[in-house]
C-alpha cells in the first residue's frame, strides 16, 4: 500500500528523480518555458516554485542592512543546495547563444530577475498548458510549463451554471 507517499516516482529512483528535477528547473529558469510530459510538469511545479520563493524572500529581505544581506545570502545558499553542484550553469537563448557573456548564470537569473519579478505575488509562478499532440515514440501526453510574466494572472474558468437536473 502507498499510504501517505506523496509524489510520482516517474520510473526512477530517488537520486535520478532529483537530477531530473534539477535539470528541468535549470532549463525552465533559463528559457522560462519548456515542453515535457504532463506528469513531469506536475511534479516540477512544486520544486521550481520553492526555488522562486527562496529568491522572492531574498529580494524582500535584502533592504541594504547587514541583517538583510545575511538573510539574502542564506536564501541563496539554500537555493544553491537545492539546484545542485552545477548551479552556476550558464543561461542561453533559444538558439543556444550565451546571454550576457559568461557571467550570467541560472542562480543569478533566479535571484536578480525572477525573485524581484514575483516580489508581490503570493505564489503560483508557473502555468501548465496541456498539448493536444502526443510525443513521438511512446505517445506520452505533452505539456508546456512556463513562468508567468510580471503582473500576469492565471486564467481561471468561470464557474458555470450547475448542470440541469433531469426533467420530470
Q: How far is CA 155 from CA 49, 86, 129, 142, 148, in A?
A: 18, 35, 11, 20, 11
For 122-132, what is each residue's pLDDT tens digit? Answer: 999 999 999 99
Helix (H/G/I), strand (E/B), else coil: 24: helix
Q: Does residue 68 contact residue 61 with C-beta atoms inside 8 Å?
A: yes
Going by pLDDT thresholds of 50, 70 and 90, the confidence category of residue 64 is confident
| Model pLDDT, residue 103 | 62
Please tell me the least confidently modeled range out of 51-65, 88-102, 143-157.
88-102
In the numeric block, the cell 499532440 is attached to 133
Going by pLDDT thresholds of 50, 70 and 90, the confidence category of residue 162 is low
Give mean pLDDT, residues 14-24: 96
Domain spans in the chain, listed from the N-terminal domain onward:
14-147
Q: Does residue 44 contact residue 24 with C-beta atoms inside 8 Å?
A: yes
pTM of the predicted structure, to 2 decimals: 0.83
Cα–Cα distance between 146 and 8 in angstroms, integer? 20
Beta-carbon neighbour count of residue 89 at 10 Å? Answer: 17
What CATH architecture does domain 14-147 belong to? Alpha-Beta Complex (3.90)
Q: Which three cell numbers stand for residue 81?
A: 543546495
| Model pLDDT, residue 168 | 52
In the numeric block, the cell 505533452 is attached to 142
| Model pLDDT, residue 101 | 58
pLDDT at 166 over 60: no
Helix (H/G/I), strand (E/B), else coil: 130: strand
Going by pLDDT thresholds of 50, 70 and 90, the confidence category of residue 163 is low
Amino acid at each position: 500500500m502507498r499510504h501517505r507517499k506523496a509524489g510520482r516516482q516517474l520510473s526512477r529512483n530517488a537520486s535520478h528523480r532529483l537530477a531530473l528535477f534539477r535539470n528541468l528547473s535549470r532549463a525552465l529558469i533559463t528559457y522560462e518555458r519548456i515542453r515535457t510530459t504532463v506528469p513531469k510538469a506536475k511534479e516540477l511545479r512544486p520544486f521550481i516554485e520553492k526555488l522562486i520563493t527562496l529568491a522572492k524572500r531574498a529580494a524582500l529581505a535584502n533592504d541594504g542592512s547587514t541583517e538583510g544581506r545575511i538573510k539574502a545570502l542564506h536564501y541563496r545558499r539554500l537555493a544553491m543546495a537545492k539546484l545542485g553542484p552545477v548551479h552556476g550553469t550558464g543561461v542561453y537563448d533559444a538558439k543556444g547563444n550565451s546571454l550576457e557573456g559568461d557571467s550570467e548564470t541560472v542562480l543569478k537569473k533566479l535571484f536578480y530577475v525572477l525573485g524581484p519579478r514575483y516580489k508581490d505575488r503570493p505564489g503560483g509562478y508557473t502555468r501548465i498548458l496541456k498539448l493536444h499532440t502526443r510525443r513521438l515514440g511512446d505517445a506520452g501526453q505533452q505539456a508546456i510549463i512556463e513562468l508567468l510574466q510580471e503582473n500576469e494572472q492565471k486564467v481561471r474558468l468561470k464557474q458555470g451554471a450547475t448542470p440541469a437536473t433531469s426533467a420530470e
